[in-house]
Amino acid sequence: MIGRSPSCFGLARSRWRLTDLGQGVPWLRGRSRGTIGRVLRRLALRYKRGRAYLHSPDPAYHAKLAAIMAAQAFARADPAPVVLLDEDECTYHRRPSVSRAWAPAAIDAPRVDQGWGADKERRIAACLDALTGQVIAWQRRHFERGTLRHFYQAVVAAYPQAEVIYLAQDNWPVHFHPDLVAALEATPIQILPLPTYAPWTNPVEDLWRGLRADVLHHHPFGDDWEALQTAVTSWLAQWAQPSSALLHAVGLCPAY
């Protein structure tokens, strides 16, 4: 109840007071503020300073997430003909990204060799099966609509028994290009748009986080572009089969 605005309960307030809780909670009515405060302490509830919260400005935020949750329920009820995939793209560079690492306290911060050559970049597109944890990933120089269409065709081929493939993805304009949308009409794929500016709603973001942590941060391939691509390919290949460990890591499975 305290996680919602008092206005949801007919009170003209933006934050809860003890007296407001005494009005809104039936079993606290008639209690003094001191009694209500002691009850809250017993329930491990504290009056704390707030903090700014990262949010999506999408007015259809909850409706879009509800559609994805409904698709997940359909897939769990009948996993052979119904598939739910989370899709996203990621760019990595020849030059290693800089993050935290262990080093002696008395010397300079860990140094990351950037190599001598010009920087290069490569794109990855990946679909994560929300029920099995299996990943379908491609690496290409670019993912314009033609390449993305071929990627979607490979995804469809990976699920020959699927009658519908729900594809949850962000609002990158290429995802909704008219040519690409028209091409998908002849496939089992149904696009489910994620809320705008809400990367935390896409589990594939956690896949990229793992890639950066394991391979891309501080990598030693600043002057060996081919070796870096091979390392990324090998890392992605470990998720080419169903994996409960990956589901756990991206928050789709609460426990092993």
- Which domains are present in the chain? 6-42 (no CATH), 61-100+108-249 (3.30.420.10)
Question: Whole-prediction pTM value?
Answer: 0.79
Q: 């990933």: which residue's tokens?
A: 137
**How many CB atoms are closer than 10 A to CB 40?**
17
- Looking at residues 228-233, what average pLDDT do you find? 97
- Examine the pLDDT at 49 and tell me if it is beyond 50: yes
pLDDT of amino acid 256: 41
pLDDT of amino acid 52: 76
CA distance 256 to 195: 29
Query: ∠ CA(139), CA(122), CA(171), 5° rounding?
Result: 80
- For residues 52 and 151, the model is more confident at 151
> Which of 64-78, 91-105, 182-196, 242-256 shows the lowest per-residue confidence on average (mean pLDDT)?
242-256
Q: Are 112 and 216 in contact (CB under 8 A)?
A: no
Place 108 in a pLDDT band, splitting at 50, 70 and 90: confident
| Cβ-based burial of 28 (10 A; exposed 0-12, middle 13-18, buried ≥19) | middle
Query: ∠ CA(226), CA(227), CA(232), 5° rounding?
Result: 100
pLDDT of amino acid 48: 87
- Examine the pLDDT at 80 and tell me if it is beyond 50: yes
- Examine the pLDDT at 216 and tell me if it is beyond 70: yes
**Token output for 150:** 């071929």
> Which of 51-55, 82-86, 179-183 shows the lowest per-residue confidence on average (mean pLDDT)?
51-55
- Examine the pLDDT at 179 and tell me if it is beyond 50: yes
pLDDT in tens, 114-151: 989 899 999 999 999 999 999 999 999 999 999 999 99
